[in-house]
Amino acid sequence: MTDRTHSLLRRTGLRVKILVATIVVVAGFTGVFLYQTLSFHSESALNLVAESSQSLLENTYSAIKYPMSIGDSETVEKQLKDIKDHMEGVEVYISDFGNRLTYASEEDRIHTDVTHYLWRGESQKALADALGTGLSPKQSFTEIKDEEAFLVTIKPLLNEGPCHHCHGGSKKVLGAMVVKHPVKEVYASLAAARNRLIISSAVEIIGIILVINFLFNRLVTRRIKSLAEKTGLVSAGDITVEVHDDSQDSIGKLSQNFDQMIRNIRDRIEYANSLKLGISDPFFLVDTDMTVTYMNDAAGRLGGVRPKEILGKKTCEEIFDSDVCHTVCPVKKAMETGEATVGSKVSITNAERKEIPIYTSAAALKDSAGKILGGFEIMRDISKEVEAESVLRNSYLKEEEAKKNMQERVKKLSDILSRVAEGDLTVRSEASGENDAMDQLVHRTNETVDGMQELITQTKKAALIVVGGVRNISEGNQELSQRTQQQAAAVEETSATVEQLVSSINQNASNTQRADSLSKEAVAVAVEGGDTVEKTTRAMNDMSEGSRKIVEMMDLINEITFQTNLLSINAAVEAARAGEHGRGFNVVANEIRNLAKRSSEASKDIQSLVRDIMERVDTGKEWVGELENGFKKIVQTIKQVSDALSEVSSGTQESSRGIEQIGQGVDEM
């Protein structure tokens, strides 16, 4: 029953509901008013009848009191007969203490029980109480039987002094006097008055309802119906409607607020469209069938299509052909779960069949009831980031490999020079075949060691010859006194030996000069190697400066991401002000903010990677610095060798001049 009532109320128009409510309220108030009025009139009429009965009872009692006290029954009966003759329908009964009638206006009822003429138990009980207590009832009693209505009034007859001569003084109450006053005409008049009042009230109710209905139709129904038509247009998507109502009542204010709400919705939609057009990243909307309903130019360029030609005709899978379209499509997952997917890294294939890496975020679009209407997806082309990351990774690997190779080659050359410094001139360094500065340095170092080895060998041979010559001179001097006859031959032999010694010394001096020249060339090569290391240092400094510029660019990207985040927050605030109409755009703003956050995290990761590369470049700079210091030490060592060879050459030349002088002396001898 309750469901039927609710269903009926839902199908019933507002005007009918108000009319029914008005009828119910007016009828209710009128019914209460009629009830109270009729009750008041009935009570008043019955009170008048009761007062009349009481007055009749008192007057009758006053008239029969004396005759009864002297036993004048004839006067009492005459008085009751006059009442019957002149007061139609009024019945008066006088009973003794045992309810037996001694006098009655109806003579045929004398000597009968008075309770036979009292139909209600309430009246009979009141009579018994009056006989028992001697007190009159406080009210009269209404009795109705066979369409006859009477008002019963009871008065006990007390045993007063004048009555003692007949009844004695033992009894307090001698009997009771009962008056039955007919009230049928009173009820008839009340019924007539009630009918007239009901008819007049019904006419008034109908008039009031008609007036209220007319006024309500003019002041409320028409205006609400017009407003309902405008709201129907708005619910159908038409937000160009306008409502004009200058009244200052509630409906007027409602219409004005509705008109203002429509203007605000138009402003919010225009603002949302402007913001949507201002999104530079690829962005598209789909319905529940994954058909594209909106796509900006950036998404069209990314997919290689024209947005106007594919809207409502193609699905996102047909346009982008992503590797996750059949597995974990972000927008499909968002519509299935109702939760946004942020920062998914996928690959798409455009119309030219070119694979493009992207970051994508998606969310579902819902109405105010939470029903899924579709979804949207924001993409960001990360081809340049992936390429830059690959370049940085390859550069890092190459630098690491070059640094490691340089360290190994420097270590090998250092080991060779250490063994040379220890006197092992048999060792040689092997070139890598790259024909770079290090290979040239290796060649020059090997040539230097070869020259030093040859110089030392020749010097050793020359020294042995000098030692042999000196020994021969010593032996000749000792035998000079003993072998004078052999003096000429010995002098000639000595002269020849001296000449040979001079020749050897001259050759030794020439070799020493050659070794000195080779050592100077080694110094030049070492200096050139040091310059190459210095150039490597400058190149690594340039690389470090480039890395710092990349960090600055990442800072700029972070700033742009921060500004984008602020823009998305402002958009979310505006969407929140738009209420339910801005809920979908609020989701878009949240996704833009999440994408900005993801971009910030990615740029921070790139910054961390670049800073790590910078630290490794700084480490490489330290290694190259150590290599430069090693080259400086090598140059210094070679210079010391060159200086030593210069001194050996100078000594050899002086020895040569001394030997020449000896030769001259021998010739003179």
> What's the CATH number where 606 sits?
1.10.287.950
Q: Could you tell me if residue 237 is inside a domain?
A: no
Helices 222-235 & 250-277, crossing angle to 10 degrees? Answer: 10
Q: The tokens of 345 are what?
A: 């890294």
Amino acid at 359: Y
Backbone φ and ψ for 243, nearest 5 degrees, come out as -120, 125
Amino acid at 555: D
| Residue that is last in its domain, among 381, 412, 440 | 381
CB 383 within 8 A of CB 282: no
Residue 544 has what pLDDT?
A: 65
**Same structural domain, 315 and 452:** no
Q: The tokens of 398 are what?
A: 């190459």
Confidence of residue 120 (pLDDT cuts 50, 70, 90): confident
For 555, half-sphere exposure in the C-beta direction (CA atoms, 13 angstrom radius) is: 7
Amino acid at 24: V
Q: Residue 475 class from Cβ within 10 Å (0-12 exposed, 13-18 middle, 19+ buried)? A: exposed
Average pLDDT of span 15-29: 76
Residue 355 has what pLDDT?
A: 75
Handedness of CA 317, 321, 322, 325 (dihedral sign): positive
**Same structural domain, 504 and 413:** yes
CB 262 within 8 A of CB 239: yes
**Same structural domain, 488 and 567:** yes
This prediction has a pTM of: 0.33
Question: What proportion of the chain, given as a percentage, has pLDDT over 70?
Answer: 63
**Same structural domain, 365 and 434:** no
Q: The tokens of 85 are what?
A: 């003759």
pLDDT > 70? residue 480: no
Residue 336 has what pLDDT?
A: 79
Query: Is residue 203 within a helix (H) or strand (E), and if so which, with residue range?
Result: helix 184-216
Measured in Å, how far apart are the chain's first and last C-alpha atoms? Answer: 162
Q: 341: which strand partners?
A: 362
Host domain of residue 622? 397-668
In this structure, what is the dihedral angle of CA atoms 296, 299, 300, 301, given to the nearest 10 degrees?
Answer: 120
| Residue that is last in its domain, among 381, 407, 430 | 381
Mention every residue, 6+ apart, whose C-beta is less than 8 A from residue 361. 330, 340, 341, 342, 343, 344, 377, 378, 591, 594, 595, 598
| Residue that is last in its domain, among 381, 411, 430 | 381
Strands 372-381, 283-287: pairing is antiparallel
Average pLDDT of span 367-391: 79
CB 496 within 8 A of CB 472: no
Q: Rounded to whole angstroms, how far apart are CA atoms 278 and 382? A: 20
Query: What domain count does the chain have?
Result: 3
Tell me the C-alpha to C-alpha distance, in Å, between residue 526 and each of 355, 425, 478, 630, 659.
Answer: 51, 19, 53, 10, 37
Q: Could you tell me if residue 271 is inside a domain?
A: no
**Same structural domain, 290 and 422:** no
CATH code: domain of residue 113: 3.30.450.20
Task: For residue range 414-441, list pLDDT tens digits in order.
Answer: 777 777 777 777 777 777 777 777 777 7
pLDDT > 70? residue 351: no
Confidence of residue 79 (pLDDT cuts 50, 70, 90): confident
Computed over every residue of the chain, the mean pLDDT equals 73
pLDDT > 70? residue 258: yes
Task: For residue range 37-73, list pLDDT tens digits in order.
Answer: 777 777 776 677 677 777 777 777 777 777 777 777 8
**Same structural domain, 457 and 502:** yes
**Same structural domain, 420 and 322:** no
In degrees, to the nearest 5, what angle opens at C-alpha 637 toward C-alphas 633 and 639? 115
Residue 559 has what pLDDT?
A: 64
Count CB neighbours of 442 within 10 A.
Answer: 22
pLDDT > 80? residue 154: yes
Q: Could you tell me if residue 637 is inside a domain?
A: yes
Confidence of residue 579 (pLDDT cuts 50, 70, 90): low
Q: The tokens of 89 are what?
A: 């329908």
Q: Could you tell me if residue 225 is inside a domain?
A: no
Q: Rounded to whole angstroms, how far apart are CA atoms 546 and 543? A: 5
Q: Could you tell me if residue 242 is inside a domain?
A: no
Tell me the C-alpha to C-alpha distance, in Å, between residue 22 and each of 25, 156, 230, 245.
Answer: 5, 55, 27, 26
Residue 310 has what pLDDT?
A: 74
Three-class secondary structure of residue 103 per DSSP: strand
Burial letters for 41-63: b for 16+ Cβ neighbours within 10 Å, e otherwise? ebeebbeebbebbbebbeebbeb
Residue 193 has what pLDDT?
A: 79
Residue 6 has what pLDDT?
A: 58
Q: Residue 339 class from Cβ within 10 Å (0-12 exposed, 13-18 middle, 19+ buried)? A: exposed
Three-class secondary structure of residue 151 per DSSP: strand
**Same structural domain, 500 and 609:** yes
Mean pLDDT is highest, among 195-199, 238-242, 314-318, 511-515, for 195-199
pLDDT > 60? residue 538: yes
Q: Rounded to whole angstroms, how far apart are CA atoms 475 and 477? A: 5
Residue 641 has what pLDDT?
A: 64
Residue 274 has what pLDDT?
A: 72
**Region of poorest pLDDT, from 16-20, 401-405, 481-485:** 481-485
**Same structural domain, 421 and 534:** yes
Strands (E), 606-660: none
3-state helix/strand/coil string of 336-377? HHCCCEEEEEEEEECCCCCEEEEEEEEEEEECCCCCEEEEEE
Q: Could you tell me if residue 484 is inside a domain?
A: yes
Q: Rounded to whole angstroms, how far apart are CA atoms 663 and 494? A: 8
Query: Is residue 91 within a helix (H) or strand (E), and if so which, with residue range?
Result: strand 91-96
Q: Rounded to whole angstroms, how far apart are CA atoms 366 and 580? A: 10
**Same structural domain, 471 and 368:** no
**Same structural domain, 295 and 424:** no
Q: Rounded to whole angstroms, how far apart are CA atoms 607 and 485? A: 99
Q: Rounded to whole angstroms, how far apart are CA atoms 80 and 93? A: 9
pLDDT > 60? residue 312: yes
Residue 204 has what pLDDT?
A: 83
Residue 30 has what pLDDT?
A: 80
Residue 168 has what pLDDT?
A: 63
**Same structural domain, 524 and 471:** yes
Task: For residue range 598-653, list pLDDT tens digits in order.
Answer: 666 766 766 676 677 677 667 766 766 776 676 677 667 667 766 766 676 676 66
CB 73 within 8 A of CB 94: no
Count CB neighbours of 464 within 10 A.
Answer: 11
Three-class secondary structure of residue 150 per DSSP: strand
Confidence of residue 225 (pLDDT cuts 50, 70, 90): confident
Q: Rounded to whole angstroms, how far apart are CA atoms 508 and 462? A: 7
Query: Is residue 629 within a helix (H) or strand (E), and if so which, with residue range?
Result: helix 583-668
Q: Could you tell me if residue 231 is inside a domain?
A: no
Query: Is residue 256 within a helix (H) or strand (E), and if so which, with residue range?
Result: helix 250-277
Q: Could you tell me if residue 185 is inside a domain?
A: yes
Average pLDDT of span 518-536: 65
